[in-house]
Amino acid sequence: MKKLVFLLLATFSISMVAQEKLTEGVMASKMTMSSPNEEVNAQLSMVGDINIITYFKEDKTRSETNNPMSGESVTIIDAKAKKMLTLMNNPMLGKKYMATEIEDDADTSGIEVSKGDETKTILGYECQEYNVTMNAEGTTVTMDLFTTEQIVASSEQTAKFGDDFKGFPLLMTMKMSQQGMDLTMTYEITDIKKEAVSDDKFDMTPPEGYEKMEGM
C-alpha cells in the first residue's frame, strides 16, 4: 500500500512539474527530410539530420543550427520589439545577415488552420494537434503539429498562423509536392531544460564580419 501511495505521489509530482509554464530555458531539436523519389532522397541523405538548439527567455528566442552542407545559421526573434535577425555562415554565400520587422497584420491568405482531434504527451508536456494547409506559388504544403501552451516561446515556423493557432510546437510533420516531387520534413523537440539564459544570446546587433544580404 505504501509503495502504491509513493508511486501515485511521484506521478502527481511529475505531472505538476510538466504543467508549470516554462518561460526560460534551452531546447534541443532535430529536423529530418525524406522523399519517395530515390534521387531526391539520395541528396537529402547527404545533408543528414539538422540539429537545432533553441534558447528562450520571455518574449525572445534564439535558434542555432550547424550542418556541414548548409553551414551555420542563427535566428533571433524579439516578439515584443517585433524584430527578427537571421545570421548565415554559408560555404557558398559567406557570412550574411537579414534584419526584418515582424508585422502584426501579416498576410494569412492561403493559410488554413484547424484544431485536430488528437492529443499526446511529449517530454512530459500535454500537446494539442493542429492541422495547417498553406498554398504558395502553386505549391500546397500540409502540416500536422502538436503544440503545448506550457512553454512560452516564439516559433519562427508558426509565426504567420494567426490567432486560431495556440502553443509552441514540439512535433511537426510537413509534406509538400513540387514539380512532381514529394518531400516530407519532420521537426521534433528532443530535450527541454529549464535553466537561466544570458541576455547576450538575444543581441540583435549583426556581428562584425557579416554583410547585409542584398534586397533584405
Q: What pLDDT, in 10s, does the model give residues 2-51? A: 333 333 333 333 333 344 689 999 999 998 888 888 887 777 777 778 89
Topology of the domain comprising 22-193 = outer membrane lipoprotein receptor (LolB), chain A (2.50.20)
Strand order in the sheet with 24-34: 111-122, 125-136, 139-148, 168-178, 181-193, 24-34, 50-57, 60-67, 71-78, 83-90, 94-101, 211-212
pLDDT at 216 over 70: no
Which pLDDT value is given to residue 80?
87
